[in-house]
Structure formats: C-alpha cells, structure tokens
Structure 1
Amino acid sequence: MRSRPYVLMSVASSLDGCLDDTSTTRLLLSNEEDFDRIDDVRSGVDAILVGANTIRSDDPRLLVCSAERRERRLRAGLSPTPIKVTVTESGKLDPGARFFTTGECEKVVYTTSGASDCLRERIGDVCSVVDAGDPLDVRILLADLAERGVGRLMVEGGGIVHTMFLSAGLVDELQLVYAPFFVGQADAPRMVHPAVFPQGPQQRMTLAETRQIGDVVLLRYLPRQDA
C-alpha cells in the first residue's frame, strides 16, 4: 500500500512558461476540447489541490462539470466532485470563496502550525483545517490525505504549489499543456519559481505521451521521484 497518494500535476502554460498575464481578466490558455479532457481527469481522482493564491486570484469552483461524470462518481459511491484541497501559510482565505461554497464534497485546508488555530476559528465551519508543520511540509499533507482515503491527487497550481511538489520530488505524473502564444510580461506568474529540482539535466523526465488537442499540445511526463 502506498504511504501517499499518486500525484498528478496538471499545468496549462504559454510558450514562455506563464500561467497568466498581469491583467485583471483571467487568461484562457486552453480550449474547450482540453477543458473537457481536464474535467474527465478530475472525475477520476479523489482530491484536487490548488494554492491559496489561485483561490484569491481566480476564485475557482474546482467541480466536475459533466453531469454524466458526476453520476458515474455517485454510482461508485463517491461524492459528485473530488475533495477540494488548498495550502496556505498566511491563512488569508475568504470563507465565501467558491472553493468553499460550491460542490457537495469535503474541503481541506493545510496550513502552518502558527496559523492553524486562528484559521480554524475563522473558517473551520466550512472546511477541515490541518496543521502541516512549520514550515509547511508537503509530506505531512500527503500522509493526511492518504489517511482520508485519497489514492489519487490532482495538483492544479499555481506556481508556488508546482514548485513545492516538484522540488520535493513528489510528482508521479506531469500533464503539461502549451498554448500557442507568448505572454511576454516580466511580472506574469510563472509555471515554477526558482528552486533546486530533482528533474534536472542529470535526471531527465520520461516523455510518456504527446497529443494535439485543437490548437494546444499536451505533453505527459513521468518524473522520477523519491517516493
């Protein structure tokens, strides 16, 4: 039995590695066909994780959109949408965000030891708040999710979260979609932040699949990790 969930990271990026631009309008990096593919991937996991910055900036619902896929999950004895998970060091989360208010599913927030009591008092009625150490330790997070029955975790961003998981060698599969354009802004949010990554020149990832999806391309990599 695995001591942690299988971690699938899903990223959509511009050709110059940006997750968004600096405007106040969300930048659409993918297309309808790929959004449907992502919905299918979501329907097959036990939990979906995004960082607190993503919740603050995008206010995502993180739901399985297809009625047929939700029904399939219900027939399997699952919630219509996977467990929603986020991580925060600051504890700055709005309990009115759609992450908390939408979806018939469990919501879990992992935070630092120093922020856990305050955050539990403030938003503990809309989610479970879990102390994941100080500094926040991704391995504690994954071990707790495993205890909650999570076998497959989908990590959807943003850059801080990508860096956290990849630099720790805790990603089993990377699904990377490239949009056919450049953002070209120095301050635009990036796919990863500077860090020491085990997936460097001396330990190249395995390219498992390439797929054209309309005007975007999916690259599926299998990183080596420390397990």
Structure 2
Amino acid sequence: MSERPYVTLSCAMSIDGYLDSAEPHRLAMSNAADLDRVDAVRADHDAIMVGASTVRRDNPRLLVRDAARRERRLASGRRESPAKVTVTASGELAPEAAFFTAGDGPRIVYCPVDRVESLQARLGDRAVVVGLGEDCVTMTALLDDLAARRGVRSLMVEGGGSVLTQFLGADLVDELHLVIAPFFVGEAGAPRVVRPGAFPWTAHRRAHLAETMQIGDVVLLRYALSERFGTRDGDGTSARAGWETVAVERP
C-alpha cells in the first residue's frame, strides 16, 4: 500500500478555543497577512480537505489566491490549485456550493457506501463520490484511498471541529498549524476547535512545539506531531511553505 499522505492540520481559534461564533455569519479569526501565509501552505499541498459542515456553513472556495503561486504550480506540472476533498455522513451537499463550482481541479467526496449512488446523481460530474465504510468514513481509510487511488502525497486539513478531532484522535497528523486570535468568543453554542475525545498528546506525552511566529496581532504555533514532521513525500524535502515572509520568534 502507498505511504499515507503527509497531513498538515491548519486552523485558527480564539483565545478561549473557539473556531467561530454561534452567529450565522463567519467570525474572522485571522488577518490578511496570515491568510496569505495559509495561501502559501495551500499551494504547497496536493489536496485540501474540509468537512461537509464547513462546506455548508462557510461555502469556501479552497483555491490558491496568489497568481504567482498558481503560476509556479502550473510550471511544475500541477493544476493551479490543489484537489479538494470533503467527507459527509448524511450526503447533504449542494452541487451549487463553491466547493464544487470554483476552480477546475478534482473534487472528491467521501461518504458511507449506501450514500454513493444518490449523492453522485446529485453532484453529477462536479465531483467523484467515493464510498468508504458502512456507517461512517474513517480518516485512516480516507488517507489510504487518497494515497493509493488519487495520487495525493500531501493533504492540508482546514476543519471543521469534527474533522480536526478525528484526525488528531487517530494520530494521523504530521504537523499542526494553530493560529491564536487576540480575543475571546465565550459563547456556549459556538464550535470548538476539537470535540471531547482521547488524544495521543497528554500531560504525560506533550506535543513538540517546533516554531512560533507573530503575524501582526495573531500568533502561529507550529507543532511537530509525527516523526515525518517537516518533510514531503518521505524524501526529506522541507515543508516550510508560508514561513519565509515573517521573522520567526523561537521559544
């Protein structure tokens, strides 16, 4: 079996650990400089993943925005933006969502096997629908399929909380980019970065903080969560996209 893709988990949260507010409109956690950094990280990956709830709530395009980065991808034989990946248990995804209509790259939707036929009929040629599992899709099976059948060697996971929790709980993340916004949310119904669960990193097994970076009024913490940290495709290539434009403050 092909080696599983290198996984970078990227998210931004409030000081008190929320991904967003409970309001219908999205609460911006980041700033323009950090969004540009995220764009650079996106450009360095083969695929970008968000959960179906994020597709429904935020309607993300998940494209590389910077023209120079798109040109560099094209010059290297890749598409302008990475492939887009999502996972759904219910199959409730609208074909007019920006996930399916923005850009021209591959779009892959994972769902339980009994949802494949109806979901593929609804999405048509806007996505490839892949059935994995009877009741739910595990992130291990998803990564195995991406590696073996889709040629994906690096995956950037951007949320939401359920997806982040599943990747972290299964110990499938190679590096974590965690941005802290300079405010509190304090709303009981707002989504958290992770849900309750059993995680490999505890008070007795601390995650390794590899680097820190101040970007305007936010701070980025970069954690090494596997022995593959900092490499791509197992070849030792540095995976530091988006870190070259701002001075790093080392702990």
Same fold (TM over 0.5): yes
- Offset of 1:12 from its aligned partner? 0.3
Q: Is the 8 A contact 2:2 2:144 kept in 1?
A: no
Counterpart position of 1:107: 107
CA deviations on 1:42-64 (whole Å, 9 max, x unpaired) are 00000000000000000000000
Alpha-carbon distance in 2 for matches of 1:52, 1:108:
12
- Offset of 1:224 from its aligned partner? 4.0
- TM-score normalised over the length of structure 2: 0.87
Alpha-carbon distance in 2 for matches of 1:57, 1:130:
22
Consecutive unaligned residues in structure 1, runs of 5 or more: none
Task: Detail structure 1 runs of 4+ shifted over 3 Å in the superposition.
Answer: none
Q: Is the 8 A contact 2:175 2:226 kept in 1?
A: no
Consecutive unaligned residues in structure 2, runs of 5 or more: 228-251
Counterpart position of 2:237: none
- Offset of 1:87 from its aligned partner? 0.4
* Pairing of 1:169-208 with structure 2 (within 5 A): 169-208=171-210
Residue 125 of structure 1 aligns to a residue in which SS?
A: helix
Aligned residues: 226
Counterpart position of 1:213: 215
Residue 50 of structure 2 aligns to a residue in which SS?
A: strand
Q: Is the 8 A contact 1:132 1:138 kept in 2?
A: no
- Offset of 1:2 from its aligned partner? 5.5
Counterpart position of 2:146: 145
Counterpart position of 1:54: 54
1:27 aligns with 2:27: yes
- Percent identity, aligned pairs only, is 55
Alpha-carbon distance in 2 for matches of 1:41, 1:172:
14
Q: CA 1:122/1:6 → structure 2, altered by over 3 Å: closer, same or farther? A: same
Alpha-carbon distance in 1 for matches of 2:2, 2:108:
21
Q: Give the letter aligned to residue 200 of structure 2.
A: P
- TM-score normalised over the length of structure 1: 0.96
> RMSD over aligned Cα, in angstroms?
1.4
Q: Is the 8 A contact 1:205 1:224 kept in 2?
A: no
* Pairing of 1:68-147 with structure 2 (within 5 A): 68-134=68-134, 135-147=136-148
